[in-house]
Amino acid sequence: MTNYPKTSALMARGREFLGTDYAILCGAMSWVSERNLVSAISNGGGFGVIACGAMTPDLLDAEIAATRALTDKPFGVNLITMHPQLFDLIGVCEKHGVSHVVLAGGIPPKGSVEAIKAFGAKVIVFAPTLALAKKLLRSGADALVIEGSEAGGHIGPVATSVLAQEFLPELASEFVVFVAGGIGTGDMIAAYLEMGASGVQLGTRFACAQESIAHPDFKKAFFRAKARDAETSVQVDPRLPVIPVRALKNKGTEEFTAKQREVAKLLDAGEVDMLEAQLQIEHFWAGALRRAVIDGDVESGSLMAGQSVGLLKEEEPVADIITQLMEQSEAALTRR
């Protein structure tokens, strides 16, 4: 890309891997990352990813087809590893010849990476530890996303800056690694590229773009929020090691704490087993996020947001956001 020579050079491997002009992924966001936002990202030169979330295979089938109708650029599909129909969803991706599948939410179950690679798609994984990252990459995964605790949605305990220092020197020369969590400007993109990242993944920064179907009240809550308002949910019971969720604090975050207590009680009484208990908690968030994103229930819905939410001021078209990020990165690298 002649417009941004320094940034493009550092993104070369990521751009080639994704088949895009820019190695900027818009991380899948349940309910938000559907046909409109995903196609806008890909049409803008980035890489959109459909959030399958709790969708049925039929719904995913329709969403992929609808996205294809809006863009002829590459995009990916994000599947949650604990989805009970994971292999059917992989089958839907195969039917559509999806080029990239992201496996999120846990360690990929046996056979899933192989099933995706069997139809020629590339597999992108997450890994919370360096040892697991190496194992996944050496056993077939094609790329890795490291995501720090600044991010919106389900998060791990370690900050992006620390993960980058730990993972990139070990992996970046050999593997494609994307950095996610807390990235809101091109200055930050430039820094991670210089550390060896092949590209970056942003979620919060794109959640309230003009093309995002998120409810106007959801967007307003984001524009009003400061970084410190995007809080991590509290784990109530040591037997229920739920992954913390970063979201704007509201009545919904308190309700989630109550829900965990309720499920813990059911566990005590032997009325549910561990798997059922964890699914109930996961389902609570799935419903709550939909209420916030689609219905605009900013009181009791889940306003999943990363700390970069404080940098958002107004609705902007996706193309403008991408241009701004690339210009900022290029300016930062030029100043060096």
Ligand X SMILES: Cc1cc2nc3c(=O)[nH]c(=O)nc-3n(C[C@H](O)[C@H](O)[C@H](O)COP(=O)(O)O)c2cc1C
Q: Which two tokens stand for residue 21?
A: 């002009």
Which one of residues 152, 196, 199, 252 is an interface residue with ligand X (CB under 6 A)?
A: 152
- C-alpha torsion sign, points 11, 137, 18, 322: negative
Question: Nearest to residue 127, comparing CAs of 76, 188, 81?
Answer: 81
Burial class of residue 247 (count of CB atoms within 10 Å of its CB; 0-12, 13-18, 19+):
buried
Contact between 28 and ligand X (CB under 6 A)? yes
Which one of residues 153, 156, 186, 196 is an interface residue with ligand X (CB under 6 A)?
A: 153
Which one of residues 21, 63, 142, 147 is an interface residue with ligand X (CB under 6 A)?
A: 147
Rounded to a whole number of angstroms, the minimum distance from the CB of residue 214 to ligand X is 8
Nearer to ligand X, 40 or 264 (CB): 40
Rounded to a whole number of angstroms, the minimum distance from the CB of residue 293 to ligand X is 7
Select from 197-205, 257-265, 269-277, 321-329 the region that touches ligand X (CB under 6 A).
197-205
Nearer to ligand X, 48 or 152 (CB): 152
Partner residues linked to 77 by β-bridges: 50, 101
Residue 246 near residue 151, CB atoms below 8 Å: yes
Contact between 186 and ligand X (CB under 6 A)? no
Q: Spell out the residues 6+ positions from residue 114 whose beta carbon is closer than 8 angstroms to its own.
A: 140
Q: Hey, which residues between 213 and 252 contact ligand X (CB under 6 A)?
A: none
Which parts of the chain are beta strand (E)? 24-26, 47-51, 75-80, 100-104, 122-126, 143-147, 153-154, 176-180, 199-202, 230-232, 245-248, 303-304
Which one of residues 7, 20, 30, 39 is an interface residue with ligand X (CB under 6 A)?
A: 30
Which one of residues 10, 23, 24, 29 is an interface residue with ligand X (CB under 6 A)?
A: 29
The binding track of 86-125 with respect to ligand X, each residue x by CB under 6 A or -, is ------------------x---------------------
Which position's Cβ is nearest ligand X? 203
Q: Which two tokens stand for residue 169?
A: 């020197």
Q: Hey, which residues between 259 and 318 contact ligand X (CB under 6 A)?
A: 304-306, 308
Nearer to ligand X, 199 or 264 (CB): 199
Q: Which two tokens stand for residue 332?
A: 């930062």
DSSP string over 323-336: HHHHHHHHHHHHH-
Nearer to ligand X, 150 or 229 (CB): 150
Nearer to ligand X, 144 or 264 (CB): 144
Rounded to a whole number of angstroms, the minimum distance from the CB of residue 139 to ligand X is 20
Contact between 76 and ligand X (CB under 6 A)? no
Select from 150-158, 167-175, 190-198, 275-283 the region that touches ligand X (CB under 6 A).
150-158
Total residue count of the chain as it appears in this document: 336
Rounded to a whole number of angstroms, the minimum distance from the CB of residue 274 to ligand X is 22
What distance in Å separates the CA atoms of residue 68 and residue 74, rounded to the nearest whole number? 9
Residue with tokens 């992996």: 171
Distance of CA 13 to the CA centre of its chain: 20
What distance in Å separates the CA atoms of residue 76 and residue 200, rounded to the nearest whole number? 15
Partner residues linked to 147 by β-bridges: 180
Rounded to a whole number of angstroms, the minimum distance from the CB of residue 199 to ligand X is 13
Select from 13-21, 145-153, 162-170, 270-278 the region that touches ligand X (CB under 6 A).
145-153
Which one of residues 10, 23, 32, 242 is an interface residue with ligand X (CB under 6 A)?
A: 32
What distance in Å separates the CA atoms of residue 231 and residue 250, rounded to the nearest whole number? 10
Identity of residue 209: A
Contact between 180 and ligand X (CB under 6 A)? yes
Angle at 102 between CA 37 and CA 66, to 5 degrees: 40
**Which residues contact ligand X by CB under 6 A?**
27-30, 32, 51, 53, 78, 104, 147, 150-153, 180-183, 201-205, 207, 304-306, 308
